[in-house]
A = this chain, B = another copy of it.
Amino acid sequence: MATSLKAEARDAEPTAASWVRNAWYVACMPHEIEGKPLGRTICNEQMVFFRGIEGQVAALEDFCPHRGAPLSLGFLRDGALVCGYHGLTMGCRGKTEGMPGQRVGGFPPIRSFPVIERYGFIWVWPGDPDLADPAKLRHLAWAEDEGWAYGGGIYHVASDYRLMIDNLMDLTHETYVHATSIGQKEIDEAPVRTRLVGSEVVTSRFMDNVSPPPFWAMALDGAGLPSEVPVDRWQICHFHLPSSVEIEVGVAPMGQGGYDAPMDQKVYAMVVDMMTPETDSSHWYFWGMARRFAVNDQDLTDSIRDGQGRIFAEDIEMLERQQQNLSRQPDRRLLLLNIDAGGVRSRQLIDKAIAVELA
């Protein structure tokens, strides 16, 4: 296997911007705005999210125009957001609807952000509102099809969101970071292939005739398949702009066709990772797993989510400490190996999209 050893200057010469602005990012999950506003910083903007009278989601800057209090400390009344300090009532579009004892007609609106709810998530567009188009939100087939089940969660990670993309586009880290759950030495040994397919970066790895690691043995059990036999395993990572990685993962008992085995002879799932920048050195990590086996088994959904949550939490310390190291040596060049190709190509897509925005 050839070693690609180029100390590229990509870390030494970052673009001025760290993320694409004109794009849909996951802001939160519906349960986070259940009956109360949610304050969250996204792409360096303090935002407040809440539901209006008809259930539609609103996203505004988290700043009361009266005295600057965070609107997210307030409460909802009749579909409007009431500031918890002096009772200014804010509508879904950033227009003040009322203020005790004041005529509010002349109040200038505060900033609002385009927002949509789809696929079980609230999405926000931090850039130019005139460019926001729901049609630009990529279709997530697994989120709308009865043939899939989904469970997931959210983590706050004190690292640049791109370190998480690197992490997910190079799964050799599983052998080390997740040694007791999904890691196995064959991940290191199997060749990996990275290519650009349309607008996505795809990194794939196939491991034939391996023992299923504990997480996958559990999944096989859950699907009613034998879990103590050799399996064929696959990992196919798909990066999409602005910042998501979906990973087709699964195992099939050997001899059934591996990735191409009939659906009832394999456990096939999609690891869903959507990273939303908070600041230059932190992000919100929405993670989950969509699966095509035993889709009506809620206990299995819960069990997988718990297991995945534990596994993905193992990445956090590593990424946060990596961020600290990189921040101390911002000009230092890193090695780029062929296993890094997925992250490198994904960052190239991001950089190109940022350059277009800034042009």
Contacts and interface: CB of A to CB of B under 8 A. Distances in A.
A249 B65 CA distance: 29
Contacts of A175: 87, 100
Contact of A69 (B2, B3, B66, B321): B321
Interface string A155-196: 000000000001000101101110000000100110110000
A55 interface: no
Nearest to A63: B325
Nearest to A103: B3
A263 interface: no
A257 B263 CA distance: 84
B5 A69 contact: no
Contact of A102 (B63, B170, B318, B338): B338
Which DSSP category, helix, strand, loop or mixed, fits chain A's interface?
loop
Contacts of A321: 69-70, 73
A339 interface: yes
Interface residues of A, number: 59
A86 interface: yes
Interface of A: 1-3, 5, 7, 46, 62-63, 65-70, 73-74, 82-87, 99-104, 106-108, 166, 170, 172-173, 175-177, 185, 188-189, 191-192, 317-318, 321-322, 324-326, 328-329, 332, 334-335, 337-340
29 contacts: A3-B104, A7-B108, A62-B325, A63-B325, A63-B329, A65-B335, A66-B337, A66-B340, A67-B166, A67-B334, A68-B322, A68-B325, A69-B318, A70-B322, A70-B325, A73-B317, A73-B318, A84-B176, A85-B173, A85-B322, A86-B170, A86-B176, A86-B339, A87-B188, A100-B175, A100-B185, A100-B189, A101-B172, A102-B337
